[in-house]
Structure 1
Amino acid sequence: MLVDEFDYDLPEELIAQHPCEPRDASRLLVLERNGQKINHRHFYDLPEFLQTGDLLVFNDTKVIPARLFGIKAGSGGKVEVFLLNRLTGNTWEVLVKPGKKVRPGTVVVFSDELQCEVLSTTDFGGRIVRFSFQGIFEEILDRLGEMPLPPYIKERLSDQERYQTVYARKRGAAAAPTAGLHFTHSLLEQIKLKGVQIVFVTLHVGLGTFRPVQVHDISEHSMHREYYNISEQAACQISEAKQAGRRVIAVGTTSVRTLETAAAEDGRITSCSGWTNIFIYPGYRFKMVDAMITNFHLPKSTLLMLISAFAGKDAVLKAYRAAVSERYRFFSFGDAMLIL
């Protein structure tokens, strides 16, 4: 299957530059896989499409201010360090700019209280670095770091919390699980009152979100690994719902990837954690997910391939054409889809 099969035309003005206010006022395209019916609604209408007994699975990762700016010790050259994954203790996997000039052994100074040494390079062109600091690393990062908004967002975000979900609690992501940005505390309460279960898993969004598919044949693409965790309580709730025939609805592609990584062939999940590089594209057989909530994704992206695997490529591209025609807002701060 070729990457060009997942392309579509998108006017630049439809790329959302700021989040919708309030969160749940964004639009919602509902795509029914059986019959390929398309319905245009708003996100606050979501409870109408949920049933008593459904299980909604959210990703509770929290975005860290992952972009740091420093200078090379000695030369004074400017360096940008983008945090991806914490490996062990003070050792991180990062991206650096300019990459060619930041070799192993380089020391980057961010302030009097924080610096890092480059230890090695990675297969994806990144670096492994070890931080040294005076104080508490997370507090220093909150002071010095910037929120890592995607490059297609040109406007400055006035409220940094708008790039976090209202239920974000476990620090470690380099990007937000954007399907969750539409939920408000009030909407979550409405959903619970309808008898819908809510459960949280964790996947710290990393390099895979930013890395384009650079091969012609998508089967040759390699995903970057990301850390995930499913607690014992969450695993029990998910397995019970699946075994009982209740719908498991994933909120966002990160929740989808977490569930499908951990699910056994019989639809059971056990408590687990680790690293996943699962790449879901058409031909994949889903073991756990019955429906999903997602945003509109970039052309030729792995996320567009994932939802095409779930709903069918032709149906998805038809829905995207309808969204463009109806002037939906696209990408991280854009509108949402519910695929049933």
Structure 2
Amino acid sequence: MKTEDFYYDLPERLIAQHPLKDRSSSRLLLVDKKNGSMEDKHFYDIIDYLNKGDVLVLNDTKVMPARIFGHRKGKEESIEVLLLKQNEDDIWECLTKPGKKTKIDSEIIFSDRLSGKVVDLSDDGSRFIKFNYEGIFHEILDELGEMPLPPYIKEKLEDKDRYQTVYSKEEGSAAAPTAGLHFTKELLNEIKAKGVELAYITLHIGLGTFRPVKVEDVENHKMHSEFYIINKEAADKINKAKKNGNRVIAVGTTSVRTIESVAEDDGSIKEKSGWTDIFIYPGFKFRTIDALITNFHLPESTLLMLVSAFSSKELMFKAYSEAIKKEYRFFSFGDAMFIY
């Protein structure tokens, strides 16, 4: 299986540059795995396709304002730092731009309350920066940081909250779980009133989101590890649904990866936390997830490989071709798909 097998051509005008005014008014492409049929709806119609006893699995991670700007001590040129993952002793794994300016022992000044020193480099080009600060780190980050929007979004985001889900809670992500951006609090309340259970899990999205697949053979790609938490309440809801023959529906690829990382052969899961580097591509055997709400993903990305594994590569490319023809909006602020 080649990485280039997952390439498709997308007109640039279809890359969504901003979120819609109403989250739930985005378009929704229904894709039936069994017969390959497709139907055009709006996201608020999702409630008509959810049944009493189903469980929606939602990733409640919260995006940090993880993009900060500074300069090297004694220099004037701007250095951009993207925080990806916190290690111990105030050391963070980061991406820096320009990377060649941030060698080991480089000191970066962000403000009179925050500075950092590059203490190590990784083989893939990321930097390990030890931060020094006065006060509470995340409060300083809230003051100085910007939302780490993907590079294909060129327009400035006026409202930081629009790159957060309405149920975001646990801060620690370098990117949003974008399938969840379509839900409003009102829609979630309507879904609950219908008898659908909501199971909240956490996966802090990190480096893998920003790294393209560079290997020729898909199987040789290595995912970076990301931290997850599944509490007892979420595990119990999912296990009850499996036992009763109801569906477990993942909201987003991050929810899929979290649940399938811990799934037993019978589809049950346990309360657990840890690190996962699971890589899902065609041939993967899904044990717990029965249906998937997801956005439209970049060509040759691990996310496109995951959704191709969940349906089939042939059906996914047929769906993407249909979405392009009907001018759906793509990527983070774009429209959604329900594969069931």
Q: TM-score range by the shorter chain?
A: over 0.9
The offset of 1:96, in angstroms, is 1.1
Change in Cα spacing, 1:89 to 1:53, as seen in structure 2 (3 Å) is farther
Aligned structure 1 segments of 4 or more residues deviating by more than 6 angstroms: none
Alignment TM-score, normalising by the size of structure 1: 0.98
Q: Name the residue aligned to 1:289.
A: 289
The offset of 1:12, in angstroms, is 0.6
Alignment TM-score, normalising by the size of structure 2: 0.98
How many Å separate the matches in 2 of 1:15 and 1:262? Answer: 34
The offset of 1:74, in angstroms, is 3.3
How many Å separate the matches in 1 of 2:25 and 2:75? Answer: 50
The amino acid across from 2:314 in the alignment is: D
How many Å separate the matches in 2 of 1:61 and 1:14? Answer: 27
Identical residues among aligned pairs (%): 56
C-alpha distance after superposition, 1:193-225 (max 9, x if no partner): 110000100011111111111111111111111
Q: Name the residue aligned to 2:45.
A: 45
The amino acid across from 2:50 in the alignment is: L
How many Å separate the matches in 2 of 1:191 and 1:113? Answer: 45
C-alpha distance after superposition, 1:56-107 (max 9, x if no partner): 0000001111011111123444321110011224121111112122122221
C-alpha distance after superposition, 1:280-303 (max 9, x if no partner): 000000011000000000111110
How many Å separate the matches in 2 of 1:126 and 1:300? Answer: 22
Residue correspondence of structure 1 range 210-229 to structure 2 within 5 A? 210-229=210-229
How many Å separate the matches in 2 of 1:111 and 1:104? Answer: 20
Q: Name the residue aligned to 1:95.
A: 95
The offset of 1:114, in angstroms, is 0.4
How many Å separate the matches in 1 of 2:154 and 2:74? Answer: 33
How many Å separate the matches in 1 of 2:246 and 2:73? Answer: 58
The offset of 1:4, in angstroms, is 1.4
How many Å separate the matches in 1 of 2:41 and 2:77? Answer: 51
The offset of 1:233, in angstroms, is 1.7
C-alpha distance after superposition, 1:263-316 (max 9, x if no partner): 122212111111111110000000110000000001111100000000000000
How many Å separate the matches in 2 of 1:51 and 1:240? Answer: 15
How many Å separate the matches in 1 of 2:188 and 2:136? Answer: 34
C-alpha distance after superposition, 1:309-334 (max 9, x if no partner): 00000000000000011110000000
Q: Name the residue aligned to 1:190.
A: 190
Quick check: 1:243–1:267 contact (8 Å CA) kept in 2?
no
| Unaligned runs of at least 5 residues, structure 1 | none
Residue correspondence of structure 1 range 1-340 to structure 2 within 5 A? 1-340=1-340
SS of equivalent to 1:88: coil
Equivalenced residues, count: 340
Q: Does 239-248 or 284-293 show the bigger shift?
A: 239-248
RMSD of equivalent CA atoms: 1.0
The offset of 1:121, in angstroms, is 1.1
How many Å separate the matches in 2 of 1:238 and 1:89? Answer: 36
SS of equivalent to 1:229: strand
The offset of 1:243, in angstroms, is 2.4
